Amino acid sequence: MAWTKKDLLDLEYLTAEEITTILDTARSFYEVSTRTIKKVPALRGKTVVNLFYEASTRTRASFEIAEKRLSADVLNVNVSVSSVTKGETLLDTVKNLCAYKIDVIVIRHSVSGSPLYLARNIEASVINAGDGAHEHPTQALLDIYTLRERLGELKGRQIAIVGDIAHSRVARSNIWGLTKLGAKVTVVAPPTLVPRDIERMGVAVSHRLDEAIARADAVNMLRIQREREKQTLFPSLREYSKLFGLDEEKIKDLPEGMLVMHPGPINRGVEISGAVADGPHSVILEQVTNGLAVRMAVLFLVAGGTSLHPESLGT
Which positions touch ligand NCD (CB under 6 A)?
Answer: 58-59, 130, 136, 139, 169-170, 223, 263-264
Rounded least distance, CB 1 to ligand NCD, Å: 27
| Complex with ligand NCD: residue 98 or 133, whichever CB lies closer | 133
Rounded least distance, CB 170 to ligand NCD, Å: 5
| Complex with ligand NCD: residue 47 or 62, whichever CB lies closer | 62
| Complex with ligand NCD: residue 46 or 223, whichever CB lies closer | 223
Rounded least distance, CB 132 to ligand NCD, Å: 10
Rounded least distance, CB 169 to ligand NCD, Å: 5
| Complex with ligand NCD: residue 104 or 170, whichever CB lies closer | 170
Q: Which residue is nearest to ligand NCD (CB)?
A: 223
Beta-bridged to residue 221, according to DSSP, are 162
Rounded least distance, CB 152 to ligand NCD, Å: 26
| Complex with ligand NCD: residue 180 or 223, whichever CB lies closer | 223
